[in-house]
C-alpha cells in the first residue's frame, strides 16, 4: 500500500520532485483556456483562493505550505524550508 506521508508527516514522494505540468489553469468565461502556470512549484496543490487584489493563494498539502502568486502570475511568497 502506498502512503503519501511518512510516520513523521513528511511527504513520502518528495524525491519525485514537484509536478512538472502547469497546476493552475485560467479560463475565459466561455471556457476557452487563457493561461496556465505553476509548473515545478507544487507537489500536492490543494486549496485555491483569490484575494480582493487578485493574488492567488495556493496550499500545498505535501509541503505543509501556503504560496501566493500575484495577479500577473509571478511568485510572491514561497518558502520550501
Q: What is the pLDDT of residue 22?
A: 92
> What does the block give as the cell for 6?
511518512
| 58 is a domain residue | yes
In a domain, 3, yes or no: no
Residue 64: inside a domain: yes
pLDDT computed for residue 77 by the predictor: 56
Task: List pLDDT tens digits, range 51-68.
Answer: 898 888 898 888 888 888
6 occurs within a structural domain: no
- Identify whether the C-beta of residue 38 lies closer than 8 Å to the C-beta of residue 45: yes
Domain count for the chain: 1
Which structural domain range is residue 18 located in?
14-77
Spatial contact of 33 and 53, defined as CB atoms under 8 Å apart: no
Contact 54, 66 (CB under 8 A): no
Amino acid at each position: 500500500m502506498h502512503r503519501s506521508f511518512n510516520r513523521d508527516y513528511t511527504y513520502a514522494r518528495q524525491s519525485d520532485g514537484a509536478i512538472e505540468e502547469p497546476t493552475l489553469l485560467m479560463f475565459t468565461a466561455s471556457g476557452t483556456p487563457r493561461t496556465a502556470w505553476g509548473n515545478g512549484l507544487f507537489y500536492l496543490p490543494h486549496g485555491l483562493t483569490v484575494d480582493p487584489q487578485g493574488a492567488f493563494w495556493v496550499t500545498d498539502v505535501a509541503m505543509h505550505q501556503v504560496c501566493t502568486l500575484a495577479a500577473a502570475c509571478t511568485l510572491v511568497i514561497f518558502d520550501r524550508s
